[in-house]
Structure 1
Amino acid sequence: MTGASLWPRYAEPADLAAIEAVPLADRHLPESTYALLCRAAAWWPDRPATTVLPDAERWREPVRRTFAELLADVHRYANLLRELGIRRGDAVALMSPNCADLIPATLAAQLAGIAAPLNGGLSRDHLTELLRLSGARVLITAGPELAPDIWATARDLAPGLDAILVLRPTGAAGEPAALPAVDGVRVGYLADLAAGHDDAAFDGEPPAASELAALFHTGGTTGAPKLAAHTHANEVADAWMIAANSLLDVGSAVFAALPLFHVNALVVTLLAPLFKGQHAVWAGPLGYREPALYGQFWKIVAEHRIAAMSAVPTVYAVLAQCPVDADIASLRYAMVGASPLPAAVREGFQAHTGVTLVEGYGLTEATCASARSFPGDPRPGTVGQRLPYQRMKVVHPETGEELPRGETGVLAISGPTVIPGYVVGHDETGYVLDGLGKLRDGWLDTGDLARLDADGFVHLAGRAKDLIIRGGHNIDPAMIEDALLAHPEVTAAGAVGRPDEHSGEVPVAYVTLAPGATVTEDALLTWAAGHVPERAAAPKAVTVLDALPVTDVGKPYKLALRADATRRALAEALGPFDGVAVDTVIEDATVVAVVTVASEVDEPKVSATLARYTVPARLTTEGNP
């Protein structure tokens, strides 16, 4: 189906009402991600679908697939998975940096069963738990040539698996390395094992819209990992909402550099391009983390006529320093998200390239994207307008009552992209899903503080649990972060509460600086005092770090900052005692102080000092556990 019913005009905020005048059901979206791929292969069989770079230095030696070739490989890989016993309700784990074969492997996993992408950088305990939750018995993973560290992890995870299917680097030539035998586990290269399987059709029944397509892990670096369950309908709907962007025509090229265990990589740069026959150009296995990419970036944009890209602020800060040594007139949509965009980064990139940075917002539990901005109507300070057919409201953090426009509360989302739940177990019918307190009556509690303005644009104000409570007064950390980000030498900022014996906690801030910056911590403290609009919110300290901590899935990790602030506060309070060491650990999303005292120290006095703070603490004597 083509035409206005499928592709309405969607170029400015005022277009939203006309789009939603047509029910989503009348858009006749494909039933599944597989049906979406089949349609793309039927409409544009010979058009390039994916171009994958081996690495930045060899960007002129990519591996390309047309839409027809991509579908053929998906059929081969899915039929291999079916031979291995994978059925509709079975998960297939995928653990690899990006490479040419990971793309069809991911789509094949969604066709034969359910894709369960894993970040190979997670701890072994996390990975073991995610495999247990997913029930995956087949693992598609990077081999020794592609990522030796991930291959070593895969071998450690082998017990309990039925098969390990191995991926080679993009464009690998020659005979691959011999793979070691693993007792009771079938081990082989994916491409070799799939070579003899039918590439014209899938041997099983295709998935339905309501069936699960993927299990994406979400959460921080501590505590139990969670698996968010995406249906095919979730992913197809969100991909359509992204593809509906009128600025990106049929056949436009998009740049992909985020890892495929991230929802943005799957939905924005793999599924959405299938809707309009767009060409996805994928960076090498390190993506934006490959330093050499930046020296070649503008040449790659020019070569492939890249029209759109998405990245985090730090990427744009680096690109603003890279000489534009090619014709980049094709680039007209540069999306930024995941963390606050410093004004200096926005202005620097736009002045350097002439390309407007637009912010977006999304989360795994709403499939991927939920809000977008418009280059022709930039509104700095917002992350955009909600996407079509999604609903947003702001509710009181304690009562759950909806708040009027302009008031700050917790952002909630409903609509066709909200997941059915998290995997919490299995029964005779398959996965047991639960909202875990985040899903109520079809509404997702995002945990993000926000307000909606009169035009429905979203203004984020930090995480609800990141509120700083000073003497019973709630302080929004965003106002501190915004003030510091306004400094021309600050590239990132995070504000948290530091324990205080009088006020419960007081605000402190952590920042990173631009290369060559000369500003001092004291100068930043003075700057903040003059720019934070609320006197009580002015930070008591500003600490410069090389990088702000992030979670295993790349999101800002405030718990680590709170742990550092707690350690510093208690170490200062216990400074008069000789022989006392203070450390902190994070347990179940709570910062716990671990205080070790020498045997000669007056332990009751140390305990009395700790009791003045509302911080869970463990006191141990040196030499004793």
Structure 2
Amino acid sequence: MNQTHTEDVLWPRYAEPADIADIEAVPLAERGLPVSTYALLRRAATLWPDRTALRVLPDGDRWQEPTSISFGQLLTDVHRTANLLHHWGVDRHSTVALIAPNCAELVTATLAAQLAGVAAPINAALSLDHITELLRRSGARVLITAGPELDPAIWATARQLATARVVDTVLLLAPTGETVSRPEPLGMDGLTIGPLHALAMDFDGTEFTGIPPAGTDLAAVFHTGGTTGAPKLAAHTHTNEVADAWMIAANTALDEDSVVFAALPLFHVNALVVTLLAPLFRGQSAVWAGPLGYRDPLLYGNFWKIVERYQISAMSAVPTVYAVLSQCPVDADISSLRYPLVGASALPPSVRTKFAEHTGLQLLEGYGLTEATCASVRSFTELPRDGAVGQRLPYQHLKAVDIDDDGTRHDLPAGQVGHLVISGPCVFPGYVVGRDGDEFRLDGLGALVDGWLDTGDLAMVDAEGFVHLRGRAKDLIIRGGHNIDPTTIEDALLTHPDVTGAAAVGRPDIHAGEVPVAYVTLTSPDAVSAEDLCSWATARVPERAAAPKLVTVVPDLPLTAIGKPYKLPLRVDAARSAALDALAELPGIADVAAAMDGSAPVVTVTVDSSADRDAVAAVLDQFTTAWLIEARHG
């Protein structure tokens, strides 16, 4: 097959919803996709060896001083690093852990880990216990991490892991454009520690000396967030990642000259698939922010100048980033920016409106999850669909199902709300639950049934494959046996022009089990009263039972490290406030606190000697929430 014909098959027209039928008329297997992320990189380096693949900024202030790396050099660096790993025994069944902020060397290391073995990116913000458990479960003995010059706190964590013999090889990354000093030895036999780049330079950069991965081999294991208990490890095959990257790259709105901005951390699938692998398909250049990414306050002051300087065409971020950008004066020519993607959490209408008014650009929603590799749904620039996060991507299939108590699933017709399930080439093979010899032991843990993945979300899928999310199934508020979708409350509050974010949870209630309450962020602290917002929501929710009993204004809504809504702290606060109100008339109450125990809040009441413990217990017994009574000391 000649190159021209191959490119025609690889890049069908994909500009509007109707194109999906023509795309799927050609089986995915006939589109000539690379077999692995390594084959994808080799293809890019062969087609565009001298074109700039990466521009990595040192930080948000030094945005005019990037380190530039061509596709050819990137392949050479990946070969050297992968050969170093292979030399130290990393093979197809070995896992390489990566704990570091974004930097030029981390991009190389991530691709090299997928070539030599299996990459395990880990969020450094997790607790040491959680990191240790993820390393144990993945079987990683090699850790690629930040040197003291890049991130002293992460380096301190790495020292603890090495001292505890959790890992036996530690390779250090330097800040972009700099080198890392050789650390002092820790004085432990059997521990290898050194600077990754300097060690890799002794190895061949022309070829990989091991066995390249096949499509069915694992490319990576990603933790799924870790908001309760130890995070799960979701496995990705090379086929999963290449297929999803192609579906993202097959976008007629972007071409080879498009430049992508990347600032999400590389332990997040969006950073890997959307801003690293997908650009490799088209030879697109990616501009990577510094180690703090979107958390760098200096980035926002220079953001629009960065767009102009590097002619940024597309970017991907969470709603909170766009809320901040809506307040940053546009002090540059941003006409190159055409594709601002938003995902990970619900997009408040006020953020959408303010960003459009401020920049003239429409935010494009998407939807996906780690267990389906990354993206499963996309929007269209010229054809917005009200209320939908977008249409399913080609070759991925989405539907709503009803799930019985015994787990049996029943398909629902288009237009009905149910549990959203996904099948197709991007659905993961399972969670890592252990090892059988050299092989990972994978299990769907009830989420994966006959190739269909339960996303945990409630949604309606229409006849054209557009997805309308209706909240998380496990976030349902149950008031007197009546199920309330918190999204209906959040949507009502988000229609208020001064509300920039909303989250509804159940608050323990003596009579109803729980009642809905909401937490909101505002354009300014005194923009509107909580009482007025209660009235606003009550007038707009679809049923009286869903009217929030209380609205609390907060400076920020809690998010996970990757920007997803994190409601557990709100449930804790709601449980505490309910107990505090119920105990208000009783003497001797010194303190009321609450904390999560697994996935449920536990209230702890501290009392002094004047308290009637039986009376306190009698009040708390009226709630379904677990509770403890402690005596105040001192």
Q: Shorter-chain TM-score: what band?
A: over 0.9
Secondary structure in structure 1 of the residue aligned to 2:140: coil
Is 2:92 the partner of 1:88?
A: yes
2:593 match:
583
Question: Which whole-Å CA distance do the structure 2 matches of 1:370 and 1:335 have between them?
Answer: 13
1:237 match:
243
Aligned partner of 2:65 among 61, 69, 72:
61
Query: Structure 2 counterpart of 1:297, which letter?
Result: F
1:340-379 aligned at under 5 Å gives the runs: 340-379=346-385
Q: Deviation at 1:599?
A: 4.3
On the 8 A contact 1:450/1:458 being kept in 2, the answer is yes
On the 8 A contact 1:484/1:524 being kept in 2, the answer is yes
On the 8 A contact 2:53/2:285 being kept in 1, the answer is yes
On the 8 A contact 1:144/1:177 being kept in 2, the answer is no
Is 2:13 the partner of 1:13?
A: no
2:39 match:
35
On the 8 A contact 1:145/1:177 being kept in 2, the answer is no
On the 8 A contact 2:325/2:355 being kept in 1, the answer is yes
| Stretch of structure 1 that moved more, 527-536 or 83-92 | 527-536
On the 8 A contact 2:132/2:166 being kept in 1, the answer is no
1:601 match:
611
2:503 match:
494
Is 2:620 the partner of 1:615?
A: no
Question: Which whole-Å CA distance do the structure 2 matches of 1:608 and 1:4 have between them?
Answer: 73
Residues 148/429 of structure 1: CA separation in 2 closer, same or farther (3 Å cut): closer
Is 2:161 the partner of 1:157?
A: yes
Structure-1-length-normalised TM-score: 0.97
Question: Which whole-Å CA distance do the structure 2 matches of 1:317 and 1:9 have between them?
Answer: 33
Is 2:52 the partner of 1:48?
A: yes
Is 2:402 the partner of 1:396?
A: yes
Q: Deviation at 1:456?
A: 2.0
Q: Deviation at 1:531?
A: 2.3
On the 8 A contact 2:183/2:194 being kept in 1, the answer is no
Work out the percentage of aligned pairs sharing the same amino acid.
64
Aligned partner of 1:172 among 153, 178, 181:
178
Secondary structure in structure 1 of the residue aligned to 2:606: strand
Query: Structure 2 counterpart of 1:585, which letter?
Result: A
On the 8 A contact 2:182/2:195 being kept in 1, the answer is no
1:257 match:
263
Uncovered stretches (5+) of structure 1, i.e. residues with no partner: none
| Stretch of structure 1 that moved more, 510-519 or 334-343 | 510-519
Query: Structure 2 counterpart of 1:393, which letter?
Result: K
Secondary structure in structure 2 of the residue aligned to 1:379: coil
2:107 match:
103
Query: Structure 1 counterpart of 2:186, which letter?
Result: A
Question: Which whole-Å CA distance do the structure 2 matches of 1:79 and 1:162 have between them?
Answer: 18
Question: Which whole-Å CA distance do the structure 2 matches of 1:55 and 1:394 have between them?
Answer: 44
Q: Deviation at 1:182?
A: 4.6
Q: Deviation at 1:517?
A: 4.9
Aligned partner of 2:450 among 415, 421, 441:
441
Question: Which whole-Å CA distance do the structure 2 matches of 1:599 and 1:196 have between them?
Answer: 71
Question: Which whole-Å CA distance do the structure 2 matches of 1:471 and 1:206 have between them?
Answer: 58
Is 2:83 the partner of 1:73?
A: no
Aligned partner of 1:470 among 468, 475, 479:
479
| Stretch of structure 1 that moved more, 207-216 or 295-304 | 295-304
| Stretch of structure 1 that moved more, 154-163 or 536-545 | 154-163
Question: Which whole-Å CA distance do the structure 2 matches of 1:513 and 1:539 have between them?
Answer: 17
Deviations 1:332-391 (A, max 9, x none): 111111111111211111122121111000000000001000011112321101111111
Q: Deviation at 1:485?
A: 1.0
Secondary structure in structure 1 of the residue aligned to 2:228: coil
Q: Deviation at 1:294?
A: 1.1
Is 2:223 the partner of 1:217?
A: yes
Q: Deviation at 1:204?
A: 0.3
Residues 182/541 of structure 1: CA separation in 2 closer, same or farther (3 Å cut): farther
Deviations 1:372-415 (A, max 9, x none): 00011112321101111111111114352112222211101111
Question: Which whole-Å CA distance do the structure 2 matches of 1:304 and 1:250 have between them?
Answer: 14
Query: Structure 2 counterpart of 1:611, which letter?
Result: D
Question: Which whole-Å CA distance do the structure 2 matches of 1:603 and 1:306 have between them?
Answer: 64
Q: Deviation at 1:55?
A: 0.8
Question: Which whole-Å CA distance do the structure 2 matches of 1:112 and 1:171 have between them?
Answer: 25
Question: Which whole-Å CA distance do the structure 1 matches of 2:8 and 2:616 have between them?
Answer: 71
Question: Which whole-Å CA distance do the structure 1 matches of 2:424 and 2:351 have between them?
Answer: 33
Question: Which whole-Å CA distance do the structure 2 matches of 1:60 and 1:553 have between them?
Answer: 27
Question: Which whole-Å CA distance do the structure 2 matches of 1:341 and 1:607 have between them?
Answer: 42
| Stretch of structure 1 that moved more, 150-159 or 591-600 | 591-600
| Stretch of structure 1 that moved more, 368-377 or 609-618 | 609-618
Question: Which whole-Å CA distance do the structure 2 matches of 1:346 and 1:182 have between them?
Answer: 55
1:300 match:
306
Q: Deviation at 1:99?
A: 0.3
Please report the RMSD computed on the Cα atoms of aligned residues, expressed in angstroms. Answer: 1.5
Secondary structure in structure 2 of the residue aligned to 1:413: strand
Question: Which whole-Å CA distance do the structure 1 matches of 2:611 and 2:314 have between them?
Answer: 62
Residues 400/599 of structure 1: CA separation in 2 closer, same or farther (3 Å cut): farther
Question: Which whole-Å CA distance do the structure 2 matches of 1:256 and 1:567 have between them?
Answer: 39
Secondary structure in structure 2 of the residue aligned to 1:216: strand
1:130-209 aligned at under 5 Å gives the runs: 130-158=134-162, 159-172=165-178, 176=181, 178-183=183-188, 184-209=190-215
Question: Which whole-Å CA distance do the structure 1 matches of 2:400 and 2:292 have between them?
Answer: 38
Deviations 1:184-203 (A, max 9, x none): 31111101111110000001
Deviations 1:223-273 (A, max 9, x none): 121100000010001000100011110231100000000000000000000
